[in-house]
C-alpha cells in the first residue's frame, strides 16, 4: 500500500481546528487561547526545522553528527524539565539533576536497544537512533518532571513533618521516604497507564504511523511493544534516579533539611 501524501490544504484544515479551539477558550475566558496559538505555531516551525535537519542527517550519516544531535536533544530536554518545576533547585542543580539522570537512563536504554535488539548497521544509523532516542527522551522528560515537581512541592508542604521526624532521630532517607515514593509513583503513572490502555483504549502513535505508512500490522505491533518496554525502562530508571538524587540534595551532610536550596520556578 502506497503512503498517502498530505497537502498544505490538509494541514491547514487541521490547524483551523486548533484555531477554533483557541477562539472558544478566549470566548470562555479560560486564559488558554494565546498559549494554544503559540504552541501550535511552535509545533509547525519546530517540526519543519527538525524535518530538514533529519533529512540532512540521513543524507550525510556520521557518528559525530548523530552524537551532536543527541546532545542537543538531551540539553533541551534538561531545560524543559527545569522550566516545568514550581519549585526547583537553585544553581546548576536545577538543571543538572534532570539532565544527567535523563541522559544516563534514556541514552543507555537507546544504545542497548540499538546494539542488541534493533541491530541496524551501523548501530548508530540516524534513521533508527534519533527517532528512538527522541521517543525515550520525551517520555523520560515527562516522568522526571512530574516526579521532581511532586517531590519538591510535597517536601515544601510537609516540611514541619519532615523536621519532626529528623528531631525524633530518623535519617534523611527515612524522613522523606513517603514523599519519595509518591513522587516516583507520580512520574511513572502516565507510562503505566499508557501500557495498560495500549491496544484496547488507544492505538499508540508509532504503531499507528507505521500502519498508515503501509507496514504490516503485526510488524507494527512488535515494534510498538519493543518501544513501550524501552520507554517504560528509560522513564522508570530516570525518574527513580532523579527523585533519589533530588531527595539527597534537600539535606546537607549533617542531615538537616535545606529548603533554601529550592527557589520558586516561573510557574509558581
Segments making up each domain of the chain, as ranges: 1-60, 62-264
Q: Are 232 and 195 in contact (CB under 8 A)?
A: yes
The predicted model gives 29-35 an average pLDDT of 88
* Bridge partner list, 88: 263
Q: Are 180 and 147 in contact (CB under 8 A)?
A: no
47 sits in which H/E element = helix 33-59
89: exposed, middle or buried (C-beta count within 10 Å: 0-12, 13-18, 19+)? Answer: buried
In angstroms, the CA 244 to CA 94 distance is 14
The predicted model gives 67-86 an average pLDDT of 88
The predicted model gives 120-128 an average pLDDT of 89
Give the predicted TM-score (pTM) of the model.
0.82
- For 243-253, the pLDDT digits (tens) are 999 999 999 88
Range of weakest confidence among 78-92, 99-113, 224-238, 243-257:
78-92
DSSP for 200-236?
Answer: TTB--HHHHHHHHTT--HHHHHHHHHHHHHHHHHHHH
- For 10-26, the pLDDT digits (tens) are 999 999 999 999 999 99
Tell me, what DSSP letter sits at residue 86?
Answer: S
Strands 87-89 and 262-264: antiparallel
Amino acid at each position: 500500500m502506497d503512503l498517502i501524501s498530505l497537502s498544505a490544504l490538509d494541514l491547514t484544515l487541521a490547524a483551523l481546528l486548533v484555531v477554533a479551539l483557541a477562539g472558544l477558550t478566549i470566548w470562555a475566558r479560560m486564559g488558554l487561547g494565546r498559549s494554544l496559538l503559540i504552541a501550535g505555531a511552535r509545533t509547525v516551525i519546530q517540526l519543519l526545522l527538525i524535518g530538514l535537519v533529519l533529512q540532512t542527517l540521513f543524507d550525510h550519516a556520521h557518528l559525530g553528527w548523530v552524537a551532536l544531535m543527541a546532545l542537543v536533544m538531551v540539553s533541551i530536554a534538561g531545560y524543559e524539565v527545569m522550566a516545568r518545576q514550581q519549585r526547583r533547585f537553585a544553581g546548576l542543580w536545577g538543571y543538572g539533576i534532570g539532565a544527567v539522570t535523563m541522559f544516563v537512563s534514556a541514552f543507555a536504554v537507546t544504545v542497548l536497544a540499538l546494539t542488541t535488539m534493533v541491530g541496524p548497521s551501523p548501530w548508530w544509523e540516524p534513521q533508527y537512533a534519533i527517532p528512538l532516542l527522541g521517543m525515550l527522551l520525551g517520555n523520560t522528560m515527562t516522568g522526571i518532571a512530574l516526579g521532581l515537581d511532586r517531590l519538591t512541592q510535597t517536601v515544601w508542604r510537609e516540611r514541619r513533618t519532615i523536621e519532626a521526624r529528623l528531631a525524633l532521630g530518623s535519617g534523611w532517607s527515612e524522613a522523606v521516604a513517603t514523599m519519595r515514593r509518591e513522587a516516583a509513583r507520580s512520574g511513572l503513572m502516565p507510562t503505566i497507564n499508557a501500557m495498560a490502555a495500549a491496544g484496547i483504549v488507544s492505538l499508540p502513535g508509532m504503531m499507528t504511523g507505521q500502519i498508515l505508512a503501509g507496514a504490516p500490522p503485526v510488524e507494527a505491533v512488535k515494534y510498538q511493544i519493543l518501544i513501550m518496554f524501552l520507554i517504560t525502562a528509560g522513564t522508570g530508571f530516570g525518574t527513580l534516579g532523579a527523585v533519589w538524587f533530588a531527595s539527597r540534595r534537600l539535606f546537607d551532610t549533617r542531615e538537616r533539611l535545606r529548603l533554601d536550596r529550592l527557589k520558586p520556578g516561573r510557574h509558581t
